[in-house]
Amino acid sequence: MKLNKSKLNLSIDIIMFLVMLLIAGMGFLIKFVLVPGYKRNELYGKDVELFYFGLDRHEWGSIHLLLGFIFLFLLCLHLIFHWKQIVSIFKRMVASKPLRIVLVNLVLVLSLLFLFAPFVVKPLAVPQIHHALQAKAKAPERIIVMVDSCEPKHETNLQGRHNNRHAMQNVEIYGSMTLQQVADKYDIPAAKIAGEFNIPLTYRTEKLGRLRKRYTFRMGELKQFIESEKSKP
């Protein structure tokens, strides 16, 4: 029986170690390879979605969370199988019983706080003013083409193009969003968006990153369609 228990403990430790490496490696993948939107635009240009084995960073994030639960489960098993040894070492480390009680309660409180705090906290919603300032800072100066009579020409067309580019920047659509989420965000019927890009309405809960590859449309085209619908009276 002791031999079987030793083998079980060793197996759990090995699996924990491998899962921990997977969690770390997947974190590196999400952080440095499948970079978020602003970095992706800098490295690869706009209207590009990054995939690894057919999954985007949000789907890898879900797998990362699942591995975290598996690691937590294995850690609980590890503590259960080594409980007597842990208690014995803890008593030798802390001779005072009242101090042991305080430390145990402190660890329990911190454990519950770390585990359940994400379910009760509320994020701080900050208006995206800095994006507008950045767009204004990066906006090209208005170009006026002069003819012999020194009268401005094509100013209206150039300004109109600038306004269109600025309007496109106000439409924020990501590959991790679903067609239905886009429809709800911009108050446009999902059926109208799906019909424009020949997407079956049954796929309205599918992520745009996958739909874009399957039905060969660009995110820029979707943004342009959304902006045209928003500008209609």
pLDDT tens per residue, range 44-89: 776 677 888 888 888 899 999 999 999 999 999 999 999 999 999 9
Buried b (16+ CB within 10 A) or exposed e, 166-184: ebebebebbbbbbbbbbbe
Same domain (yes/no): 134, 112: no
Distance CA(189)–CA(146), nearest Å, equals 45
In a domain, 26, yes or no: yes
Same domain (yes/no): 92, 146: no
In a domain, 214, yes or no: yes
Task: Write the CA distances from 216 to 5, 40, 222, integer angstroms.
Answer: 56, 20, 11
Structural domains counted in the chain: 2
Q: Which domain holds residue 168?
A: 129-231
Same domain (yes/no): 137, 220: yes
Domain closes at, from 119, 152, 171: 119
In a domain, 207, yes or no: yes
Same domain (yes/no): 137, 93: no
Same domain (yes/no): 45, 153: no
Amino acid at 68: G
Distance CA(186)–CA(183), nearest Å, equals 6
In a domain, 142, yes or no: yes
In a domain, 124, yes or no: no
From first to last of its 233 residues, the chain has per-residue pLDDT tens of: 445 788 888 999 999 999 999 999 999 999 999 888 777 777 777 667 788 888 888 889 999 999 999 999 999 999 999 999 999 999 999 999 999 999 999 999 999 999 898 888 887 766 544 444 454 454 444 443 444 444 444 444 444 444 444 444 577 887 778 888 888 888 888 888 988 888 888 888 888 877 887 888 888 888 888 888 888 77
- Main-chain dihedrals φ then ψ at residue 218, nearest 5 degrees: -100, 150
Buried b (16+ CB within 10 A) or exposed e, 30-47: beeebbebeebeeeeeee
H helices of the chain, where? 2-28, 37-44, 57-81, 83-93, 97-116, 129-138, 155-170, 179-186, 190-196, 208-215, 219-231
With 0.85 as the threshold, say if the pTM is over it.
no
Tokens of 10: 């060793």
